[in-house]
Every structure is written in C-alpha cells, then in structure tokens.
Amino acid sequence: MKLFGLKNCDTCRKAIKQLPKIAFVDVRADGVPVAVLHRALGQFGDSLLNIRSTTWRGLTAEDRAKPQIELLQMYPALMKRPLIDCDGALYLGWGKEVQSALGVC
C-alpha cells in the first residue's frame, strides 16, 4: 500500500498512524507517477483537484485552464489528500468509507 500526500497534512498523518505498514510518498518531494495520476483522474475526475486550497487560489486564470494532469504535475499540492493505492485499488480522502474499506485490505 502507498499513501500519496504531504508530510504536513493532518489528514495524511491520521491515515499513516492508522495504517502503520503503509509506504508514504511525499508528493511535493517525490511527485506522483503519471500512471497513478491518470488512473486517479479516471476514477475520481474533478474531485481529485482541491479547488479550495491556497495553491488553487494563487493560480492565474491561465493556469487554471490547463489540463488537470498538467496542473497536478506542476502543483502536486493541488491534489486532494490522501490518495491511497492498495493493491491497484485507489481511495481518495480519509472518510469512514475509506477507513472501513482499508480495514480489510
């Protein structure tokens, strides 16, 4: 299992604490593999982008118009977190549904 997130993100920290065997990938330092981004965009669509973030608010209208994959590669903090890859299945966020799904994983 891999968790893609930010080391300073409280939600990511909670997930890491409850999933001790998870491999953490800091998206600012290491990025997210393009293949994982494509799968996540295909599965979650627009909900993968955090348009309430300070990063989003700081973008110009020209930047916001770029393709989502390009935005996520340029600004990895735009991705909603955490993104968890568990044996090929992707989960976004750390809500009760994700927690219960990963309890058996």
Answer CATH for 2-103 from 3.40.30.10, 3.30.930.10, 3.30.365.10, 1.10.230.10: 3.40.30.10
Tens digits of residue pLDDT in 32-55: 999 999 999 999 999 999 999 999
pLDDT value of residue 49? 96
As a whole number, mean pLDDT of residues 13-39 equals 94
Enumerate the domain spans of the chain: 2-103
pLDDT band at 105 (very low <50, low <70, confident <90, very high): low
Q: Is the four-CA dihedral 92, 97, 101, 104 of positive or negative sign?
A: positive
pLDDT value of residue 20? 82
pLDDT value of residue 80? 96
Are 94 and 17 in contact, with CB atoms under 8 Å apart? no
pLDDT value of residue 44? 97
pTM of the model: 0.91
Are 48 and 84 in contact, with CB atoms under 8 Å apart? no
Please state, in angstroms and as integers, the Cα–Cα distance from residue 19 to each residue in 6, 24, 32, 84, 85, following that order: 16, 10, 20, 11, 12
Positions marked catalytic: 9
